[in-house]
Amino acid sequence: GGEVRFEDVSFGYDPRRPILKGVSFTVPAGRTVAIVGPSGAGKSTLSRLLFRFYDASGGRILIDGQEISAVTQASLRAAIGIVPQDTVLFNDTIRYNVAYGRTDATQGEVEHAAALAHIDGFIAGLPDGWNTTVGERGLKLSGGEKQRVAIARTILKNPPILMFDEATSALDTHTEREIQRNLREVSRGRTTLIIAHRLSTVVDADEIIVLEEGRVRERGRHADLLAMG
């Protein structure tokens, strides 16, 4: 399962100022769809609607054919895993950060998720800036490494649907490649919606939706969109 469907979805934070103006697309179960478009197009707004931080004012959003407004908040949270743009870590060990929300997870499960996300080398460590009163120095984690902590958490949670919010900030080539690899690994076998800021990240997406001023402007595969210019 895990099909995500937006049907003619409209929304505005202020009802007099529409932000999304009839957006429709489907992410078939297990597939990857990327939303790209200029800043202010409504990409983040769209992701907030899927998570029900806000409700659409028109149209429908469905997961496996069921309207999300009819799903409990708890099952929605269990169904969708978010790898956020900037991962903020709790002031506790990386292991704790991975297991957050899965207090029932065994040590073996946590270690397995950490290994898949390639953070097993430092799960006992503390994030940078943590409690200097105990005299422990934190790890200096790069943006890509912090994201891998969020990915390990997502692997442990094992949601059928993944929402991956690409960083807006300029990234060096090494970090960008690392994030692309992270994305490929965690999206395998899951329905994945990527909020993308660079077309280069979404070369592998099954479909790219170009959002402009709250409307779907183009859709297609990476090569099709490049051909269209």
39 contributes a contact to ligand ADP by CB under 6 A: yes
Classify the phi-psi angles of 40: left when phi > 0, otherwise alpha if psi is within -120 to 50, otherwise beta: left
**Residue 90 DSSP one-character state:** P
Contact with ligand ADP (CB under 6 A): which of 9, 19, 33, 50?
19
Q: Is 41 in the site for ligand ADP (CB under 6 A)?
A: yes
Among 10, 26, 44, 175, binds ligand ADP (CB under 6 A): 44
Interface residue with ligand ADP among 11, 31, 45, 141 (CB under 6 A) is 45
Please give the helix or strand (H or E) that residue 195 lies within, else none. Answer: strand 191-195
Note whether 31 binds ligand ADP by CB under 6 A: no
Task: Based on the shown chain and the rule CB under 6 A, indicate whether residue 81 belongs to the binding site for ligand ADP.
Answer: yes
Q: Determine the interface stretch with ligand ADP among 1-9, 24-32, 42-50, 134-142 (rule: CB under 6 A).
A: 42-50
Between residues 98 and 171, which has the closer beta carbon with respect to ligand ADP? 98
CA 90 – CA 11 distance, rounded (Å): 33
Q: Are strands 215-220 and 207-212 parallel, antiparallel or unpaired?
A: antiparallel
Instruction: Decide whether 81 or 127 has the Cβ nearer to ligand ADP.
Output: 81
- In sequence order, the 6+-apart residues with CB closer than 8 A to the CB of 196 are 34, 35, 36, 166, 202, 208
Instruction: Determine if 160 is a binding residue for ligand ADP (CB under 6 A).
Output: no
What is the C-alpha separation between 111 and 179, in angstroms, rounded? Answer: 21
Q: Which is nearer to ligand ADP, 45 or 191 (CB)?
A: 45
Is 121 an interacting residue with respect to ligand ADP (CB under 6 A)?
A: no
Q: Angle CA(170)–CA(12)–CA(64) in degrees, nearest 5?
A: 80
By the rule CB under 6 A, 129 interacts with ligand ADP: no
Restricted to residues 101-120, the positions that interact with ligand ADP (CB under 6 A) are: 101
* One-character DSSP codes across 95-135: HHHHHTT-TT--HHHHHHHHHHTT-TTSTTS-BTT--GGGT
Per CB under 6 A, 43 contacts ligand ADP: yes
The conformational region for residue 55 under phi > 0 = left, psi -120 to 50 = alpha, else beta, is beta
* Binding stretches for ligand ADP (CB under 6 A): 13, 19, 37, 39-45, 51, 77, 81-82, 84, 101, 157
